[in-house]
Structure 1
Amino acid sequence: MNVFYSLNARKLKQGILILVISFFTALFIFTGSLSALPVFSTDDGPKAIYKGDKGISLTFNVGWGDEKAEPILEKLKDQGVQSATFFLSGAWAERHPDIVEKINKQGYEIGSLGYAYSDYSEMEDAKVRQDILKAQEVFEKLNIKDVTLLRMPTGHFDKRVLSIADKLGFTVVHWSINSQDWTNPGAEQIIKNVSAAKKGDIVLLHASDSAKQTEKSLPEIVKVLKSKGEFKSVSEMIANGKTKTTLVP
Structure 2
Amino acid sequence: MKRIYVINAKKLKQIIIIFTALLFALSIAYYERDAIAVFTKGKAKEPQAIYKVDTNEKKVALTFDISWGEMRPGPIIDILQEKNVKDVTFFLSSPWSQRHPETVKKIVEAGFEIGSHGHKYDFYSKYTDEEIRTQIGKAHTILTELTGVKPTLLRLPNGDFDKRVLQIANEMGYTVIQWDTDSKDWLNPGVEQIVNNVVSNVHPGDIILMHASDSCKQTHLALPIIIDKLRAQGYQFVTVSQLLAGSQLKLQEVN
The alignment status of 1:75 with 2:79, answered yes or no, reads: yes
* C-alpha contact (below 8 Å) 2:68/2:214 kept by paired residues: yes
> In structure 2, how many angstroms separate the alpha carbons of the residues matched to 1:118 and 1:205?
19
The alignment status of 1:204 with 2:209, answered yes or no, reads: yes
Identify the residue that residue 102 of structure 1 maps to in structure 2.
106
Counterpart residue identity of residue 47, structure 1: Q
- The runs of 4+ residues in structure 1 deviating greater than 4 Å are none
> In structure 2, how many angstroms separate the alpha carbons of the residues matched to 1:133 and 1:246?
24
> In structure 2, how many angstroms separate the alpha carbons of the residues matched to 1:246 and 1:98?
35
Q: CA deviation at 1:144?
A: 3.0
> In structure 1, how many angstroms separate the alpha carbons of the residues matched to 2:66 and 2:124?
17
* C-alpha contact (below 8 Å) 2:140/2:150 kept by paired residues: no
Q: Which runs of 5+ in 1 are unaligned?
A: 1-42
Identify the residue that residue 190 of structure 1 maps to in structure 2.
194
Q: Deviations over 1:71-110 (max 9, x none)?
A: 1000111111111000000000111110001111111000
Identify the residue that residue 50 of structure 1 maps to in structure 2.
51
Residues 75 and 163 of structure 1, relative CA distance in 2, 3 Å threshold: same
* C-alpha contact (below 8 Å) 2:179/2:209 kept by paired residues: yes
Identify the residue that residue 32 of structure 1 maps to in structure 2.
none
User: Where do 1:59-74 residues align within 5 Å?
Assistant: 59-74=63-78
Q: CA deviation at 1:44?
A: 2.0
Q: Which runs of 5+ in 2 are unaligned?
A: 1-43
Q: Deviations over 1:154-188 (max 9, x none)?
A: 11111111001000000000000000000100000
> In structure 2, how many angstroms separate the alpha carbons of the residues matched to 1:98 and 1:237?
28
* C-alpha contact (below 8 Å) 1:198/1:228 kept by paired residues: no
The alignment status of 1:157 with 2:161, answered yes or no, reads: yes
Q: Secondary structure at the match of 2:220?
A: helix
Counterpart residue identity of residue 143, structure 1: T
> In structure 2, how many angstroms separate the alpha carbons of the residues matched to 1:67 and 1:247?
36
Task: Return the index of the structure with the highest Cα Rg.
Answer: 2
* C-alpha contact (below 8 Å) 1:57/1:202 kept by paired residues: yes
Counterpart residue identity of residue 46, structure 2: G
Q: Deviations over 1:11-30 (max 9, x none)?
A: xxxxxxxxxxxxxxxxxxxx
Identify the residue that residue 134 of structure 1 maps to in structure 2.
138
CA RMSD after TM alignment: 1.2
Of residues 224-233 and 96-105 in structure 1, the stretch that sits farther from structure 2 once superposed is 224-233
Report % sequence identity.
44
Return the structure number with greater strand share.
2
> In structure 2, how many angstroms separate the alpha carbons of the residues matched to 1:74 and 1:84?
13
Q: CA deviation at 1:143?
A: 3.4
User: Where do 1:1-249 residues align within 5 Å?
Assistant: 44-52=45-53, 53=55, 54=57, 55-195=59-199, 196-226=201-231, 227-249=233-255
Residues 188 and 158 of structure 1, relative CA distance in 2, 3 Å threshold: same
Q: How many residues align?
A: 207
Q: Secondary structure at the match of 1:243?
A: strand
> In structure 2, how many angstroms separate the alpha carbons of the residues matched to 1:224 and 1:241?
24
